[in-house]
Structure 1
Amino acid sequence: MTCAQLLLRLLRDTYGVDTVFGIPGVHTVALYRGLENGGVRHVTPRHEQGAGFMADGYARATGKPGVCLIITGPGMTNIATAMGQALADSIPMLVISSLNRRDTLGRGQGRLHELPSQQQLMAGVSRFSHTLLDPAALPEVLARAFAVFESQRPGPVHIEIPIDLFDAPVTSAELPPPARLFRPAPDPEGLALAAAWLREAQRPLVLLGGGCVEAPAAARTLVERLDAPTVTTINAKGVLGRDHPLDLGANAALPAVRELARHADVILAVGTELGETDYDVVFDDGFELHGRLIRIDLEAQQLVRNQQVSLGLVGDAGRSLALLAEFFPEALSRAGRERTAATLAALGLAADLAFAPFVPFYAVLREALPEAILVGDSTAPVYAGNHLVSQPEPRRYFNASTGYGTLGYGLPAALGAQLGQPTLPVVALVGDGGVMFTLSELATAVEERLPVVIVLWHNQGYEEIRRYMDAHGVARCGVDIQAPDFQTVAAGFGCLATRVGNPAELARALAVRPNGGPLLIEVDASAWLEATES
């Protein structure tokens, strides 16, 4: 057995990997020997950035690591952006790449795909980057990667293998079984103190982040027993279920929720960075907490970032939520539902001029595809959806407006989500500017016969940046870009496409979506805004 064959067997048989994303190159051909009938599905994107975004979407939709096979040099610099997004949002991703021969490393000979230090470059967008120098060490290195995914704060891991090791022989021994790894539980004394503070609180507030997506039942139980208004961040949408009476949604940057937060006497924050893109999207540092802050996170350093903490506990979100709930066998009564309803009423989202045009947009999507996974780029419908959308379960709403904030994410990430959850409808929410970064992945959607609905908001350029330029007195430059005829482009790829301008037309388009391939629905933004304002 060769090192390359051992890698495939470990991924498939030890770690249950069923799908990999990659573009074959001369440096990775050896990795593909046996892959065509090896029980692992290989998906070929049209760009390595697309491969990374597909792996990201697959991981978010399934909870399993997305796996990529990437060539040396340009393949790695191409995927770095996707790894940066996954790192910012704690998404498990395994990137396995080739590397030039060991005897050429660091010599600057101008070899094909040569980088001065590929490992050093990728270390900045990964939990760790490892250069394999001994094939016998491969099981241990992969075990380390999956330990990151399963028992600590996840993120991308990069393993590079010199091309002269792919065909190196390894001892043909039985594959090691995967280790059973458990995440840490919070300190009992600290947990008891947290429970005491929460019991004494008159105006409690709970903040749930993406770290809670694996424990929706525990999250619901605790917030209901605490009777506490709860902010669920963008990556935590659906943790409490759809339209839960204690759910304030991802509205921490809006005035009414900020007012509630300022007056909270005890705040419990679980699995959340308390970062800018969830709590301060207006960028004024206005999310203020004056009460006692209890934080629970897998990463110790995260406990003291962004806000002044009063009590910090290192622990798994799900286990922590369940253990805390045991301190409250009966639900407390502190007018939590009434406070939540009053705050949502004060927000008035449906009447807000920034969000109102998208209320019918999401009403149509919810009526037509109530169980859909919504995957977004940075575009106007997504910015509004972050505030408006409520989902029935976690892992059904995610986008690139959080954390790293890259463009081009929506389309390929939606394809990854569809591959991971083939029985659920998937909708990609993209704009005419951002989709151009990865529009070539339409070819992948057609080739793989993925029934993804691509809703393309066409507003003639980079609207968000136009507004920023106008607000700051900067003459518009580089934002009024020319778009292609998306109907013609889609037809060229073999993708069914249509154009709509109002909610009724969107509903009709969704009613005839195909089962064996993608559908692109281009929304004329000007027509939509005119139709929904009247």
Structure 2
Amino acid sequence: MSAEPVVTEKALTVGEALVELLALNGVEVVFGIPGVHTVELYRGLAASPIRHVTPRHEQGAGFMADGYARVTGRPGVALVITGPGLTNTLTAMAQARQDSIPILVISGVNRRDSLGHGRGLLHELPDQHALAKTVALYSHTLLNPADLPAVIERAFAVLGSGRPGPVHIEIPTDVMAAKVSLPATVRPAQATRPRADAETLQKAAILSAEARRPVILCGGGAITAEAEIRDLAERIGAPVVTTVNARGMMAGHPLNVPASPSLKAVRALIRDADLVLAFGTEMGQTDYDMYADGGFPLLDKLIRIDIDATQLAAGPQTAMSILSGARAAALGMLGFLPDDVAGDGARRAEAARKATLKELTAKMRAEIDIIDTIYKTLPEVTIVGDSTQVVYAGNLFCNAPRPRSWFNSATGFGALGYAPPAAIGATVGVGGAPVICLVGDGGIQFSLAEIGSAADISAPVIFLVWNNDGYQEIETYMIDNGIVPEGVRPGAPDFPKAAEAYGIPGKRLARLEDLAAALTEAAARKGPSLIEIHETLTAGIKR
């Protein structure tokens, strides 16, 4: 979002100036819980155009910011207190770091003259800044009020310029109320993204044109380049394999392979390729080797395009590494390609899709059918997932209808309890359209109270709870490895009644075939609702 420069001569408190600078940089909503260590940062917020959404837990604030960022492509902002507020948010920051999601966490910290002295102040940490730096791309302690404009500018430049992730700013309590004069003209931060030179892109284009069995791999960093990558794939006849965070790219296209590169059939497609182009993907274990079997093929001809030089240096080995944003690289390569390169990519993609589905168990295919039912019933919906069995199945194969319509915490950092608050953040980001929170009975209990947050703002989140009476995935793993299951059967509340306690409708499906009707009914309401699918109490579940 572009914004006009702020022109002001008035002296503001740091809190008031912060609000103005956030609005200048396109911030429309902040997620936070006020406390005595942040109330001065709220001065001026009520009169600003920025909306405030209150979670039930600071971790929820971070996850809401994450969900908002994923659906909008813009930074999500969390505002939390010092000490436990920041430590509660660290889990969400770590998830955002692993999945390359731009969130800005603004926290309080105790007054300047107390830092590092261990005087036993309320919410005191030995070194809060050092703690945040372990997960943040950039962390700054605002010691001088006059530095605020420059610090905010740098924060948004970092969020928009390289590989995204969490950024942290902490403001001492004695600085918050200090007066600061903004410069006469304050402009929004400018993002600067790396672009490869023409010679490099021409070389990549020549190799692509010469390939007879090319394959394209797309990660979350590629979703803003969908149109350009689609054109490139069509031009060279390359099946496009999407990781979890890229799922929904190429939706419905003959070249689309919406399946995990951890599966044998997809690996066979990649192994057979004489050139692999990897756009915006970390090529990490949870996407490429989720079963930790070491079976992902070594690639003799890999061209890797990434915005982060550190990622390019981390491996795997490449025939060519290109430091560039995905869109700029794909667009540049297209300029050097002839028009008549395309081969048999559609046939290879179709074969891979069919082989992938045959490879999956009947139970997994049944769970994928549930996801398909959701999208067919509510085509415009976004599904935000937690770590639960239906989500695991969807991460293996999911025909999401568009980018940003399928994401979850089951890869990367793998935080439980992510989906309820992230779904709330997502529905704020999409302007109130329905969002499905697909969560297990274990995961929702990590953040059950966020149902209340959804009720507060009438967020149209449909909490779809997959209840298998415990951590069934872990129990199965223990049994398969000869370990007597322990700790995998936590008790659970009656989820429909828990929803009703927060003032939202809840129901348990008697039959799985009733799901479409229940979704339609829930989507027609204003506000949240809860639907439970119970593996033993709901008829029609394949086990």
Q: TM-score, normalised by structure 1?
A: 0.97
1:162-181 alignment runs, 5 A limit: 162-181=172-191
Specify the alignment match of 1:522 in structure 2: 532
The answer to whether 1:199 aligns with 2:224 is no
Match of 2:121 among 111, 118, 122: 111
Cross-structure match for 1:2: 13
The answer to whether structure 1 residue 375 and structure 2 residue 384 are counterparts is yes
Deviation at 1:510, TM superposition (A): 1.1
Deviation by residue 1:419-459 (Cα, 9 ceiling, x = unmatched): 01025321110000011111100000000001111100000
Match runs of 1:458-497 below 5 Å: 458-497=467-506
3-state DSSP class of the match of 2:180? coil
How has the CA–CA distance of structure 1 residues 524 and 213 changed in structure 2, closer, same or farther, with 3 Å as cutoff?
same
Q: Which amino acid aligns with 1:44?
A: T
Relative distance call for 1:264 and 1:207 in structure 2 (3 A) is same
Given the alignment, which residue of 394, 398, 411 partners 1:389? 398
Please give the residue correspondences for 1:220-239 in structure 2 after superposition, counting only pairs within 5 Å. Answer: 220-239=230-249
Quote the Cα distance in structure 2 between the aligned partners of 1:123 and 1:320: 31
Change (3 A) 1:65 1:473: same
Deviates more, 1:119-128 or 1:386-395: 386-395
Question: Could you say if the C-alpha distance between residues 500 and 101 of structure 1 is closer, same or farther in structure 2, counting changes exceeding 3 Å?
Answer: same
Instruction: Count the aligned residue pairs.
Output: 531
Shift of 1:37: 2.2
Task: Choose the corresponding residue for 2:458, options 449, 454, 464.
Answer: 449
| Structure-2 change in CA distance of 1:189 and 1:43 (3 Å) | same
Return the alpha-carbon distance in structure 2 between the equivalents of residues 162 and 254 of structure 1. 50
* Partner amino acid, structure 2, of 1:9: E
Does the 8 A contact of 2:218 with 2:246 survive in 1? Answer: yes
Q: After superposition, what is the alpha-carbon deviation per residue over 1:124-147, rounded to whole angstroms, capped at 9, x for unaligned?
A: 111011111111111111111111
Relative to structure 1, the CA distance from residue 27 to residue 344 in structure 2 (aligned partners, 3 Å threshold; closer, same or farther) is: same
Describe the shift of the 1:172–1:202 C-alpha distance in structure 2 as closer, same or farther (beyond 3 A): closer
Q: CA deviation at 1:32?
A: 1.2
1:402 aligns with 2:399: no
Which runs of 5 or more residues in structure 2 are unaligned? 1-11
% identity of equivalent residues: 48
Q: Deviations over 1:205-255 (max 9, x none)?
A: 110110011121111111111111111111001221x22211111321111
Matches of 1:338 and 1:369, distance apart in 2: 30
3-state DSSP of counterpart to 1:170: strand
* Structure 2: distance between partners of 1:290 and 1:6: 52
Structure 1 stretches lacking a partner, 5+ long: none
1:501–1:525 CA contact under 8 A, matched in 2: no
1:431 is aligned to 2:440:
yes
Rounded Cα–Cα distance in structure 2 between residues aligned with 1:358 and 1:350: 14
Distance in structure 2 (CA, Å) of the matches to 1:462 and 1:27:
38
Residue 353 of structure 1: CA displacement? 2.2
Residue pair 1:10, 1:175 contacting (<8 A) in 2 also: no
- Choose which of 273, 293, 304 in structure 2 pairs with 1:295: 304
Corresponding residue SS for 1:81: helix
TM-score (norm 2): 0.95
User: Counterpart of 1:526 in 2: which secondary structure?
Assistant: coil
Runs of 4+ displaced beyond 4 Å:
none
Correspondence for 1:133: 143
1:22 aligns with 2:23: no
| 2:323 is equivalent to residue 314 of structure 1 | yes
- Structure 1 CA distance, aligned partners of 2:470 and 2:131? 32
2: CA distance, partners of 1:228 / 1:473: 43
Map Cα deviations across residues 56-107 of structure 1 (whole Å, 9 max, x no partner).
Answer: 0000010110011110000011000000000001111111111111111111
Partner of 1:11: 22
